[in-house]
A and B are shown apart, each in its own frame.
Chain A
Amino acid sequence: MHAYMKPTPLKAKFFTPGVIVLCVLALNGLVFLAGRFFFGIGAVTNLNNQYPWGLWIAFDVAAGVALAAGGFTTAALGHILHREDFHVVLRPALLTAMLGYTFVAVGVFVDIGRWYFIWHPLIMWNGSSALFEVGICVMIYMTVLYIEFIPMVTERFIGRVNLPGVLKFLNRPLDALLRVMDRGLGKTMFIFIIAGVVLSTLHQSSLGTLMVIAGPKMHPLWQTPVLPLLFLLSAISVGFPMVIFESMIASRSFKMKPEMDVLSRLAGFVAPVLGVYLAFKLGDMFIRETFVYLQELTTESVMWTIEVVVGVIVPLRMFLSRAVLRSPVLLFIAAMLVIFGVALNRLNNFIVAYTPSYSFSSYFPSIGEISVSVGFVSLLVLMYRAYVMIFPIISLPDSSAAPKTKYAIRGGK
């Protein structure tokens, strides 16, 4: 018999040794970031006219968007297919997506030379630009994610708005606003949920179109007209592994039992999607006969092999095994491998595959670039921790509510 699960703000001490390490990493990133804003991008990064895009675009933006795919994949499963049995993972996945996209936006903000013009694409449109489409979709999708998060805010604060001191007069209007939003969103949320899934499929695939225009500057192992499809499939495959990964980390961090029951059922969906992705990736390789490039030992061929063997084939085999789905440790490793594979795929596409026609040296990210990227990831984890302690996101067994009451009242018998 299952206990009824209810999303509840978690109670724990915020600062633990791990959290303090994350704070230090975040601060370190912010110091380098200050250098970028005072002295220009060249002062902190190894970017130059030969390599215009580096770690910040490949990791913070491209990998960030892919790894936030848990949001739209679980929304499709839970809300569009109405699989109630997966509801406990919806809110954590939504939070990860929301924070993930926030840091994608921040990543773009620090990487573009004129950050104060980041709003330009809203009014200056170029329909033929893949980057324009990615930018617009990400902006709208981020708004959608924040709207989808509002129910957690209303649930937590309706009747509990309690601002201190001089702000006290705002308590009643804020409460009223929350109630209005709650009522309005209850009826219209499905628009945003469908929009979120559509927008995600659009920009996850267009992210793949980005490098198509680089043409021969991109290594043939990755350069293919089906890149958008490969990006979409890999994003869908990494969605559930990411949810599994973060759920297990959160459970461990807050000393709870991992939700193995839900997670192993979720993991059952991974192998088919990952298999389709692998089939398309290898099919494309055989049609374009790019396997010839694997015969020579180059950075590209080694990276491609690691990406596909360690990041796709091994986890695919693991997700096909029932023993793996039932074992927390093995499931965690399998999920981590898929995440590694997709993140590496994005790094490969944007950095390893990119060979300028004229280059004087090869690109490797600078200490500053790595510090900023690590800093952003640390900030994201810190914010996740804070959010699950403030808002009802992670579900805990709730003894006060019997599972059947909900439906009994609704049914009106």
Chain B
Amino acid sequence: MKAQNRRTFLKTAAVAGTVAAGLGTSKAKAAPMNILSPNRMGVLIDTTVCVGCRNCEWACKTAHDLPSEPLSTYGDRSVFAQMRRPDDGALTVVNEYGNPKNKDLPINVKVQCMHCDHPACVSACIVGAFTKQENGTVLWDSDMCIGCRYCMAACPFQIPAFEYHKAIQPEIRKCDFCIQRTSKGELPACVSICPVEALTYGPREELVRVARDRIKANPDRYVNHVYGEYEVGGTSWMYMAGREFADLQFPNLGTNPAPGVSEAIQHGIFAYFMPPVALYAILGAIMWMTKDRKEEGL
């Protein structure tokens, strides 16, 4: 910070401003894809139909080349003794809860990624490795991911899992809505194997209608709540149940999209890069005005 005259100061400040402005325009374009197509697909899970056979767990592992026991072992219901969560070796799991209406008919709940319409992971990911695809899938891109695990901190459903015991190229694992199969016109593996048709695959808007019709037709069978219709701004996978969702360990989330507050703050601080550039200018002005203090040797 030697003496500098007014001209060099203004010149360099102008250059710095231009660089910052340039950064601003290119940054505005960069954001991961989040398509909300009116034709996006979804799955409706009717927990009052599910029998807890866990065939979906087997089908999911097989479809994703994950190691799995033979299908015949999945009839073992002792695994229900503990609540399980999806992890890097199982992208979907089924849990069991008691049924106050009928003790002999326990409630089984399949858990997997909800494929939110406004996903927290898409908003949070530092490199934009998550995208919301046109068919509703929330997809993770292995080529971009740096393994920071911010998606896991952000996800309101606590779904993304990380390969903690891999030193090189650990992956974030979660349900990918069988995008390999659906892009070829096939059903997702879990939907196609379900023997009791507890899972219905179809356009999301139609599924909401189906769910509402079922509730209207059987008001005693269902609670009047389609979980995922409005939760965190809507999800592609939705649930129906005969018992309050809070009792089935569904998180109680509002209807606002999960990234809402965070993005509002973020875009407020960075509105067209104005606040940082303004701060830079103000500090520059203060620096210029107090310059004389130095030369007088205070």
Contacts and interface: CB of A to CB of B under 8 A. Distances in A.
Interface in A19-48: 36-43, 45, 47-48
Contact of B158 (A50, A193, A206, A407): A50
A48 B158 CA distance: 11
Nearest to A148: B1
A76 B290 CA distance: 12
Contacts of B261: 212-213, 215, 225
A108 B147 CA distance: 11
Contact of B154 (A37, A114, A127, A213): A213
Contacts of A83: 293, 298
A191 B284 CA distance: 8
B31 A213 contact: no
A101 B26 CA distance: 27
Interface stretch (B47-55, B165-173, B186-194): B165-173
A47 B150 contact: no
B80 interface: no
Contacts of A38: 167
B124 to A, nearest CB: 5
B217 interface: no
B251 A216 contact: yes
B283 A198 contact: yes
A117 B12 contact: no
Nearest to B252: A216
Contact of A49 (B87, B144, B262, B286): B87
B178 to A, nearest CB: 21
Given A41-B170, A113-B170, A187-B8, A52 B153 contact: yes
B157 interface: yes
Interface string A98-141: 00000000001001111101101100111111111101000000
Interface string B26-38: 1110111000000
B127 A120 contact: yes
A50 B158 CA distance: 7
Contact of B297 (A41, A205, A212, A407): A407
Given A53-B153, A120-B144, A121-B146, A209 B279 contact: no
Interface string A41-68: 1110101111011000000000000000
B269 interface: yes
Interface string A79-97: 1111111000000000000
Nearest to B151: A52
A177 interface: no
A127 to B, nearest CB: 5
A224 to B, nearest CB: 10
B166 A126 contact: no
A358 B128 CA distance: 26
Contacts of A5: none
Q: Which of B156, B164, B297 has the most CB of A within 10 A?
A: B164
Q: Which of B1, B30, B297, B298 has the most CB of A within 10 A?
A: B1
B276 interface: yes
Interface residues of B, number: 77
A113 B161 CA distance: 12
B139 interface: no
B162 interface: yes
Contacts of B259: 128, 213
Contact of B153 (A85, A121, A211, A407): A211
B2 interface: yes
Q: Which of B8, B165, B283, B298 has the most CB of A within 10 A?
A: B283
Interface string A226-238: 0010000000000
A45 B127 CA distance: 24
B241 interface: no
A47 B265 contact: no
Nearest to A229: B265
B158 A81 contact: no
Contact of A112 (B148, B160, B298): B148
B253 interface: yes
Contacts of A36: 167
A407 B297 CA distance: 7
A118 B156 contact: no
A390 interface: no
A40 to B, nearest CB: 5
Q: Which of B146, B152, B291, B297 has the most CB of A within 10 A?
A: B146
Given A42-B164, A126-B128, 5 more contacts: A84-B297, A114-B146, A191-B13, A194-B283, A216-B252
For the complex of A and B, 7 pairs with smallest distance between CB atoms: A113-B147, A42-B164, A125-B30, A52-B152, A126-B128, A52-B149, A124-B127
Interface of B: 1-2, 4, 8-9, 12-13, 16, 26-28, 30-32, 83, 85, 87-88, 120, 123-129, 144-150, 152-154, 156-158, 160-167, 169-170, 249, 251-253, 258-259, 261-263, 265-267, 269-270, 276, 279-280, 283-284, 286-287, 290-291, 293-295, 297-298
29 contacts: A36-B167, A40-B163, A49-B162, A52-B162, A84-B297, A112-B146, A113-B148, A114-B146, A117-B145, A124-B144, A127-B270, A129-B150, A129-B266, A132-B127, A187-B12, A189-B2, A190-B284, A191-B12, A191-B13, A194-B287, A198-B279, A206-B266, A209-B262, A209-B266, A213-B259, A215-B156, A215-B261, A216-B252, A216-B253
Interface of A: 36-43, 45, 47-50, 52-53, 76, 79-85, 108, 111-115, 117-118, 120-121, 124-133, 135, 186-191, 193-195, 197-198, 201-202, 205-206, 209-217, 225, 228, 354, 356-358, 406-407, 410
